[in-house]
Structure 1
Amino acid sequence: MFMKGKDVVAMGTAGAAGAATGVVTASTVYGGAIAAANAAGIYGAAATSSALAGLGGGALTVGGAGMAGGVAVVAASAALPAVVVGAVGFGIYKLLKP
């Protein structure tokens, strides 16, 4: 079963809207963490490390997921809204399509 031209355009549009939403969400999450690190007087690479470890639940030595966990949080905050917005947008198109 192949998709028709309008369906492909609608899927692309829904995917682009989802990706844009995901980027905004991820940048907000990461930006907030960096702002908190800067407020604590940490700048540059140390701020990035601190922000990612904070998002990951703390350093590995204290039982958190560390920077890897922070990267996973930022990635999930981009992926989840992208999938949801894309799927809902395309679903609405299919529902309302004549």
Structure 2
Amino acid sequence: MNALLWLFNTIIQLYIYVLVASAVLSWLVAFNVVNVRNPIVSQIGEFLYRVTEPVLRPIRNLLPNLGGVDISPIILILLLLFAQKLATDLYVQLAF
């Protein structure tokens, strides 16, 4: 059971890193720091979009329009951290 908890926590942590990378890349593209015509940047952006967008879209649909500010990654990160803490606490209670 301990190995499953470790795997669950590791997957959540990796997905949080992907969310942060997606947000940073979107800022870099918006401020013209990186060029999306570059094939490597384009492939990385497409991968990050395909991995994060299916989870972020329902959160964006629930949020009110905040102008140009997108807080859906922050909300998703908080939900993932909550799930991680909940799983750890449940494991500790079941173990003892």
| Superposition TM-score tier, normalisation by shorter sequence | 0.3 to 0.5
Q: Which has the larger radius of gyration?
A: 1
TM-score, structure 1 length as denominator?
0.39
TM-score, structure 2 length as denominator?
0.40
